């Protein structure tokens, strides 16, 4: 297989042929086939690497036997107090502080 990252003779020939095809398909405008070089190079690269840029069909997260994604347990931490008896989750602030100053004042007041 040719290494199309370098300017090989076969790449130049294919780009030249595509430039001509694109130019003729546009009814031979006055700009000439050279104006179609960038598009021809893109098409030649796509021909050489047809699967480049495809997204994998495999999910990025694990899937359970029921087909549903398995979520990490730490996701539950951000849900706030689950209700019921008082527990350590009551002490957690559910939203971030607006500024570092507000955070420092809150931490000082807890002492």
Give tens-digit pLDDT for 4-42.
556 688 899 999 999 999 999 999 999 999 999 999 999
pLDDT at 101: 87
Above 70 in pLDDT, residue 85?
no
pLDDT at 64: 84
Provide mean pLDDT across the span 33-57.
88
Q: Are 72 and 61 in contact (CB under 8 A)?
A: no
Which pTM was predicted? Answer: 0.45
Distance CA 68, CA 111 (A): 45
Provide mean pLDDT across the span 59-81.
71
Q: Count CA atoms within 13 Å of residue 8 on its CB side.
A: 12
pLDDT at 44: 92
Whole-number average pLDDT of the chain: 78
Confidence band, pLDDT 50/70/90 cuts, at residue 111: low
């Amino acid at each position: 297989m040719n290494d199309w990252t370098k300017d090989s003779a076969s790449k130049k020939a294919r780009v030249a042929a595509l430039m001509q095809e694109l130019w003729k398909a546009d009814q031979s405008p006055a700009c000439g086939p050279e104006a179609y070089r960038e598009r021809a190079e893109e098409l030649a690269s796509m021909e050489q690497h047809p699967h480049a840029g495809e997204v994998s069909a495999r999910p990025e997260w694990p899937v359970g036997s029921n087909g549903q994604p398995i979520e990490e347990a730490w996701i539950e931490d951000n849900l706030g107090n689950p209700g019921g008896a008082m527990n350590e989750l009551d002490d957690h602030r559910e939203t971030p502080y607006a500024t570092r100053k507000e955070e420092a004042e809150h931490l000082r007041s807890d002492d």
